[in-house]
Amino acid sequence: MHINVRIASQTLELIQKGAATICYSVSTASRGTGQQEGSWQTPLGHHIIRAKIGEGLPLHAVFVGRRYTGEIYSPELLRQYSERRDWILSRILWLSGLEPGYNRLGNVDTMRRYIYIHGSPDTAVMGEPGSRGCIRMHGHDMIDLFDRVLPGTTIDILPE
């Protein structure tokens, strides 16, 4: 099993036995691609899923600091927060780079940058850049992907 995230088309392909089995619409960073810590960009290159977080939690479960807050996202919850927030919902696949000096270690380390594939509100626009560096998906798609993959699954984040 393998995942390709394609920045140009804003898609995530799950590949099994050498063929794409499912393709999801995603949203990557509004600031484009880049490796640097603090850039708010989506890192390119070879990665793995280091950890899966949120198994069994409800759709739209809210995470802060990779921990479930006990809240479920809703328009009412959104109104309670006046600051702009990149909602992390439903599930988290925490990524780790595999290329030292490019997306692993130092100030380019994907895992230390807290780059995830994660769920977002149903109102979030997919198919165009809009995140703060992570790869966002709608909740149902995120849960579907989460249930199909294992820690250690490889991921290529590609510019095309």
| CATH number, domain containing residue 45 | 2.40.440
Contact 45, 3 (CB under 8 A): no
SS3 80: helix
Counting the structural domains of the chain, the total is: 1
Q: For the chain, how many residues are written? A: 160
Q: What is the pTM of this model?
A: 0.95
Angle made by CA atoms 50, 134, 43, in degrees to the nearest 5 = 80
- Classify residue 7: in a domain, yes or no: no
Task: Answer for the pair 129, 28: CB distance below 8 angstroms, yes or no.
Answer: yes
Residue 159 lies in a domain: no
Which tokens sit at 154? Answer: 């490889």
127 inside domain: yes
- Tokens 């230390």: give the residue: 112
- Region 31-51 average pLDDT: 97
Q: Does residue 20 register a pLDDT over 80?
A: no
Residue 19, in any domain of the structure: no
Residue 57 binned pLDDT confidence (cut-offs 50, 70, 90): very high
- For the chain, give percent helix, strand, coil, nearest 5: 10, 40, 45
Task: Quote the pLDDT of residue 19.
Answer: 83
Report if residue 9 sits inside a domain. no
Structural domain includes residue 15: no
For residue 6, tell me if it sits in a domain: no
For 130-134, what is the mean pLDDT? 94
- Over 70: is that where the pLDDT of 83 sits? no
The pLDDT, as a whole number, for residue 84 is 65
Evaluate the CA torsion angle 160, 127, 131, 117 in order and state its sign. Answer: negative
Residue appearing with tokens 């619409």: 25
- Structural domain for 88, as ranges: 26-150
List the alpha helices (DSSP H) in the chain: 75-80, 139-148
- Bridge partners, residue 137, by sequence: 119
User: Percent of the chain beyond pLDDT 90?
Assistant: 88
**Residue 34: inside a domain:** yes
